[in-house]
């Protein structure tokens, strides 16, 4: 039987009483489930800004780390065969851990916004919103952060399409080693609307642009020309990995990576667990993880996604303030929504003003906040 997702609306209804005063990952929690106002979670601190062109990242460091080796990521799972993804309705033979065949589930025929995922591994599988799987009838991205239990039954997985111009049989699904850039990821993780996902793929950035702002290096016209010349199925990977786009992304990634290594090499008593990201003077995004090893496993893909977004935004010379970046380390206080799968994970979204915070807690083998995302909404 598939575990049911339990949705709870309202601030603070997170079952804290059942957890008592247990430490929830790297977050500070009071009995009401609130972090003291204005206090950065988990005693994180920022290093100096790392800038190149209009992209700035602030490394986030912590004086501690958690053991996250128990968790499998999607890229490794698909590469080793421990995780399989298929279209709904595709025939496949699965067996339980004891070798028996599970009860057959009827998921219906192929669907744009749903795939079937199986975790054959003995480790829980971590999925992040925006991770791209390539193949099948069209390329898709994971719709929201979640954890899939070890040896779980086939899971109907919510996804969004990022290849608008294809609906035909293709290769088996594989990990594309790609996380889509923030404007697309926001439409999936926060807005959760397929049309807006397609719109962000085609537009480049969904952030508003002042009339006096300089043009971005990557415009909607450039993307349209790329689709015509190199990506006729409107594949995200083919658009943003194309010759006319990919070389600019590579240059920006190299510029940031070199400076980032210099800023973070030789740290004593601290480890890098995430970044706060700004475009021009606007602090817009953060990704923070429970451990330095978990951050490192996603860093190259995340940096490339930030670079794509930077190219699609105005080439502004202004730089962000550290004070503005510091705000992205504080817990939001606003409307809260949660979903959970008992004994596996809890997903939490908090909205306050123009910001959205999303946290993913693992509930086994210990309660641990694996990933924390803060987004400055573009609309």
- What Cα–Cα distance (Å) separates residue 34 from each residue in 30, 194, 333? 5, 33, 8
Sign (positive or negative) of CA dihedral 323, 325, 331, 335: positive
Nearest Cα to 55, choosing from 268, 340, 321, 320? Answer: 320
Bridge partners of 159, per DSSP, are 142
What pLDDT does residue 14 have?
36
The whole-angstrom separation of Cα 231 and Cα 258 is: 31
* Cβ proximity of 122 and 71 under 8 Å: no
163-189 pLDDT per residue, tens: 999 998 777 898 889 999 999 999 999
Give the number of other Cβ atoms within 10 Å of residue 239's Cβ.
Answer: 26
Counting other chains too, the contacts that 355-358 makes at CB distance below 8 Å and 24 or more residues apart are 356/190, 356/332, 357/331, 357/332, 358/129, 358/144, 358/145, 358/189, 358/190
* Total length of the chain: 379
Q: CA end-to-end span of the chain, whole Å?
A: 39
Q: 3-state secondary structure string, 46-61?
A: ECCCEEECCEEEEEEE
* Cβ proximity of 276 and 60 under 8 Å: yes
What pLDDT does residue 65 have?
81
What pLDDT does residue 42 have?
56
The whole-angstrom separation of Cα 174 and Cα 189 is: 21
Phi, psi of 339 (to 5 degrees): -135, 150
CA atoms within a 13 Å half-sphere pointing along the CA-CB vector of 165: 14
What pLDDT does residue 316 have?
92
Burial of 199-231, coded b for 16+ CB within 10 Å and e otherwise, reads: ebbebbbbbeeeeeeeebbbeeebbeebbeebb
Which ranges of the chain have pLDDT less than 70?
1-42, 90-108
Phi, psi of 194 (to 5 degrees): -60, -45
């Amino acid at each position: 039987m598939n575990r049911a997702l339990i949705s709870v609306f309202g601030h603070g209804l997170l079952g804290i009483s059942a957890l008592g005063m247990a430490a929830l990952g790297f977050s500070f929690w009071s009995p009401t489930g609130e972090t003291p106002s204005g206090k950065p979670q988990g005693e994180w601190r920022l290093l100096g800004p790392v800038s190149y062109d209009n992209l700035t990242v602030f490394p986030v460091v912590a004086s501690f780390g958690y053991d996250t080796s128990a968790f499998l990521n999607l890229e490794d799972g698909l590469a080793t065969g421990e995780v399989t993804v298929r279209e709904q309705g595709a025939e496949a033979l699965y067996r339980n851990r004891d070798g028996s065949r599970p009860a057959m589930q009827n998921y219906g025929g192929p669907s744009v916004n749903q795939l079937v995922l199986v975790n054959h591994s003995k480790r829980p599988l971590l999925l992040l919103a925006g991770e791209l799987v390539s193949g099948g009838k069209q390329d898709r991205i994971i719709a929201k952060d979640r954890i899939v239990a070890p040896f779980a039954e086939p899971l109907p997985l919510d996804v969004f399409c990022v290849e608008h111009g294809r609906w035909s049989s293709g290769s088996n699904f594989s990990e594309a080693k790609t996380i889509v850039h923030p404007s697309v990821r926001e439409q999936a993780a926060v807005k959760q609307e397929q049309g807006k996902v397609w719109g962000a793929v085609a537009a480049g950035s969904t952030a508003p642009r002042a009339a006096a702002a300089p043009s971005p290096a990557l415009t909607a016209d450039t993307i349209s020309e790329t689709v015509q010349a190199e990506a006729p199925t409107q594949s995200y990977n083919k658009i943003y990995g194309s010759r006319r786009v990919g070389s600019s992304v590579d240059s920006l990634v190299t510029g940031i990576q070199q400076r980032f290594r210099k800023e973070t090499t030789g740290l004593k008593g601290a480890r890098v667990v995430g970044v706060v990201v700004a475009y021009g003077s606007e602090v817009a995004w953060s990704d923070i993880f429970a451990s330095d090893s978990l951050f490192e496993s996603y860093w190259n893909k995340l940096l490339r996604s930030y670079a794509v977004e930077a190219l699609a935004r105005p080439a502004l010379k202004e730089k962000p303030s550290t004070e503005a970046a510091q705000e992205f380390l504080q817990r939001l206080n606003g409307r809260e929504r949660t979903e959970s799968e008992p004994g596996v994970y809890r997903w939490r979204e908090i909205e306050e003003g123009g910001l959205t915070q999303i946290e993913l807690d693992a509930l086994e083998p210990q309660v641990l906040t694996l990933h924390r995302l803060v987004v400055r909404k573009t609309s």
